[in-house]
Structure 1
Amino acid sequence: MLPPRLTPTISTSGRGILPRFHSCIPGLWNHKAGLAIARGRFAKGENGVENGLRTYTYICMRNASSSSSSSSSSSTRWKSRQGKDWFARAAKVKGLRSRAAFKLLEIDTKYKIFKRGQTVVDLGYAPGSWSQVAYERTQPHGRILGIDIIPAQPPHGVSTIQGNFLSRRVQQSVKNFLLDPERGRPRRPLFSSSPDEEDVDDDVVAEEPSYIDLERHMNDHDNGAAGIQSTSPAPSSSSSSSSSPSLEQKQEQEQEQEQENDETKMVHVVLSDMMMNTTGIKFSDHAGSMDLCNAALRFAFETLKPGGHFVCKFYQGAEDKELELKLRKMFAVVHREKPESSRSESKEAYFVALRRNRYVDAATLGYVNDV
């Protein structure tokens, strides 16, 4: 009996057919080629040449269009899923770069993490839908800085740095960018012809140096900082020989140190939508996700203002409990979220950490050698 939906082709000489399908087992499907060979009698002729006494070659009508159809099947399934996905269609209509924007919109609607004029850092910003949401929710005069290893066109009004965020050098570039509180903000008009006239220049963003320029001038910046430190006066011998500082002096020193630390913390919200390419191996995918989350949290520890917020995507697994414990030490309130716009079959979830505590040191979070 012939397999269903097949068209038989008969050849009385298998010399031209058998070498082509020599790797096939007679009677079994060759799914990769989309072909099958029926059971037949084959014999070795003289000089080892294979001769088919009677060979039937069946071409699968379902797969006969081309072998490339199997390779494009995943793309077809993705397009089909996107076409049926309400959030994907809505993102396209609203001009958002991906459906992920609705996840952040849902989180912000519930927890009110954005305010006007904030500084927001978006880690793993590409393609830019989260940055679009942050830009709209912090206007006017908010500033958004996106970082990603993938080159992507920045969304309107968003500054970006391309680089591997796991590199401490790239993180230092981000900090250098943020030190100037006006850098990356929309320019305000110097003059207005009428007090009732709209600020048409509010959306104009200053041109920023490229990532390469930031890397090039980083050493100069570091050397300059070192020079400033070296010119500071050394303590006099009389003060060093005096008795240990009093309690009031210690409190003053602690206040000065806290003020210096607060000056280096210039970010109101840190977003992390970073995710490594998944392998299908749950342990590996979860471990990679935790590495990115911990890098984002350490950056938040170094740059986030007291009272600031932290939103981080993670791949669920055994180690996320440890990450949650760190978050609870650093923030007043921590929530686990699975937005409705997140696909039910996905293992992703989000930590929403609100109101950073002022008095949290590096040792509490396990950053023994923190710089």
Structure 2
Amino acid sequence: MTTKTGSGTRNLKQRVKTAHKRTLSSQKWLERQLNDPYVARAKREGYRSRAAFKLLEIDEKFHLLKSGQRVVDLGAAPGGWSQIAAKKVGAKGKVVGIDLLPIDPLPGVEFIELDFLDESAPGKLIAMLGGPADIVMSDMAANTTGHKKTDHLRIMGLAEAAIYFAREILAPGGAFVAKVFQGGTESQLLADLKRDFALVRHVKPSASRSDSAELYVLATGFRGGAADETPSA
């Protein structure tokens, strides 16, 4: 919020008083949420998370989502990315979100409560989509420990698992977008993607906090291809 004085306008950030049982890290997180313009904007515009604006920006720049596409959202909770995808692909498309957590229903999205690493997951999702996916997207982040190297390895491991999953269900020419962190091990991940996709790039949406090492990897033009036949669930 702002207040005007005789000398002009100055910004006043909301501060959170330290609660008896609140840790310093949780206090800082809460302060950041209260002062985050994307959090406020998400509430105003009816999106389930501020992360929705990251996908919106990526799509506006690279025209990733199109009418009629089949889309898989890995680690979909609370559903912000699925919301955007459903609006973009429209009634002719199909969006399936998968997560270990239950997710409140969303128009145009079908959710499944399942670990995407489960052996049955690729077949089930292809069946739910009615065929191979055009896009696999992931805004997943591993639980943090506070140790930068450990946290980086965890998020990169999750991204690698998402890539492996994408190979299983993407149609030829399909796309993959996922959260990664800067930190020294992403070069191998990029090399793997370049073998499977025609074009691979890093993206840093403005909705990603400037003090975060968070990046997104966007890979398009998948050279492989999941089977065209729809398996039984």
| TM-score, normalised by the number of residues in structure 2 | 0.82
Q: Indicate if the aligned counterparts of 1:285 and 1:315 stay in contact, CA closer than 8 A.
A: no
For 1:68 and 1:81, how far apart are their aligned partners in 2? 16
SS in 2 for 1:131: helix
Aligned residue among 73, 85, 88 for 1:134: 85
The structure with the greater share of residues assigned to strand is 2
* Structure 2 unaligned residues grouped into runs of 5+: 1-16, 226-233
Q: How big is the shift at 1:349?
A: 0.8
Aligned in 2, Cα 1:163/1:358: closer, same or farther, shift over 3 Å?
Answer: closer
Aligned residue among 330, 334, 337 for 2:203: 337
107-116 or 154-163, which deviates more: 154-163
SS in 2 for 1:177: helix
2:211 alignment partner AA: E
For 1:166 and 1:325, how far apart are their aligned partners in 2? 22
Aligned residue among 43, 47, 51 for 1:100: 51
Q: How big is the shift at 1:311?
A: 0.2
Aligned residue among 69, 72, 75 for 1:118: 69
Which residue in 2 is equivalent to 1:143? Answer: 94
Q: How does 1:1-371 map to 2 (within 5 A)?
A: 68-69=19-20, 71=22, 74-178=25-129, 181=130, 266-358=132-224
Aligned in 2, Cα 1:286/1:76: closer, same or farther, shift over 3 Å?
Answer: closer
Q: How many residues align?
A: 210
For 1:334 and 1:162, how far apart are their aligned partners in 2? 30
Q: How big is the shift at 1:103?
A: 0.5
SS in 1 for 2:145: coil
Larger radius of gyration: 1
100-109 or 295-304, which deviates more: 295-304
Q: How big is the shift at 1:328?
A: 0.9
Q: How big is the shift at 1:332?
A: 1.1
| TM-score, normalised by the number of residues in structure 1 | 0.53
Q: C-alpha offsets along residues 160-213 of structure 1, whole Å, 9 cap, x if unaligned?
A: 1112222223334323433xx2xxxxxxxxxxxxxxxxxxxxxxxxxxxxxxxx
Q: C-alpha offsets along residues 135-170 of structure 1, whole Å, 9 cap, x if unaligned?
A: 011113211000111222132221011122222233
1:103 alignment partner AA: K
2:204 alignment partner AA: K
For 2:24 and 2:167, how far apart are their aligned partners in 1? 44
SS in 2 for 1:175: helix
For 2:107 and 2:24, how far apart are their aligned partners in 1? 35
Q: How big is the shift at 1:72?
A: 6.0
Aligned in 2, Cα 1:69/1:163: closer, same or farther, shift over 3 Å?
Answer: same
SS in 2 for 1:88: helix
- Coordinate RMSD, CA, aligned: 2.2
Q: How big is the shift at 1:79?
A: 3.5
Aligned in 2, Cα 1:285/1:141: closer, same or farther, shift over 3 Å?
Answer: same
Q: How big is the shift at 1:353?
A: 0.7
